């Protein structure tokens, strides 16, 4: 039996690798569909996070942060200070106000809301480390907790820079 397993494993190791085993990640064009929910609270939470992303994060209108973020906002990204003031201070060093778009510009894949949590997922393109001329896509997630109509907490997959 051991010889059979060894023979099988050796055979598998000699097979050529799959060229493209990954299915690419694609954005969703219809954001209104993503914002819809039969539960009015979940729909409102989705809209709050979506508009925050559009107006404050992408639009750079940090003066609107108090409309969306609780003063005691908890930040789990290791590069951004916690608190609304910390968020504004960090982003004001490089984010300048620009026209607010009608929809999120980043390649949005999905918006999921459950209880007091809202998750935005985005398609991200990167250079393949084995062949930088080749690109691949992956998914980035941002999760927010909403309480009393404000964002009170944020998580993402960021690493220290």
Q: Is residue 4 part of a domain?
A: no
In a domain, 150, yes or no: yes
**pLDDT the model gives residue 8:** 43
Interatomic CA distance for residues 150 and 69, integer angstroms: 5
- pTM (predicted TM-score): 0.84
Q: Which two tokens stand for residue 147?
A: 């309480």
pLDDT for position 7: 47
80 within some domain: yes
| Domain-located, residue 3 | no
Query: What CATH number has the domain bearing residue 83?
Result: 3.10.450.50
The whole-angstrom distance between residue 97's C-alpha and the CA centroid of its chain comes to 21
Residue 13 lies in a domain: no
* Mean pLDDT of successive 10-residue stretches along the chain, which has 161 residues: 50 50 87 97 98 98 98 97 97 96 97 98 92 91 98 95 87
- Convert 36-75 to b/e letters by CB count within 10 Å (16 or more is b): ebeeeebeebbebbbbbbbbbbbbbbbebbeebbbeebeb
Q: Is residue 91 part of a domain?
A: yes
Q: What is the span of the domain harbouring residue 70?
A: 22-156
Say what the pLDDT of residue 22 is: 80
- Looking at the domain assignment, is residue 10 inside a domain? no
Residue 98 CB partners (closer than 8 Å, separation 6+): 59, 60
Alpha-carbon distance of 115 to 130, in angstroms, equals: 41
Contact call for residues 45 and 146 (beta carbons, < 8 A): yes
Angle at 123 between CA 87 and CA 17, to 5 degrees: 130
Please name the residue that has the structure tokens 């820079």: 161
Q: Which pLDDT value is given to residue 84?
A: 98
How many distinct structural domains can be found in the chain? 1
For residues 161, 150, 65, 121, the Cα torsion angle rounded to the nearest 10 degrees is: 40
- Rounded Cα distance between 133 and 155, Å, is 31
Residue 109 maps to a domain: yes
């Amino acid at each position: 039996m051991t010889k059979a397993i060894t023979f099988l494993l050796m055979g598998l190791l000699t097979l050529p690798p799959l060229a493209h085993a990954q299915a690419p990640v694609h954005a969703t064009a219809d954001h209104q569909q993503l914002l819809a929910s039969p539960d009015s609270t979940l729909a409102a939470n989705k809209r709050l996070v979506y508009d925050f992303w559009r107006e404050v994060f992408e639009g750079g209108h940090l003066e609107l942060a108090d409309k969306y973020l609780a003063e005691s906002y908890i930040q789990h990204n290791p590069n951004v200070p916690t608190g609304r003031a910390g968020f504004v201070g960090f982003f004001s060093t490089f984010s300048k106000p620009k026209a607010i778009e009608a929809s999120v510009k980043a390649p949005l894949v999905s918006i999921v809301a459950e209880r007091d949590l809202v998750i935005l997922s985005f398609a991200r393109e990167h250079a393949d480390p084995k062949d930088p001329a080749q690109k691949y896509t992956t998914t980035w997630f941002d999760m927010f907790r909403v309480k009393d109509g404000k964002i009170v907490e944020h998580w993402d997959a960021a690493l220290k820079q």
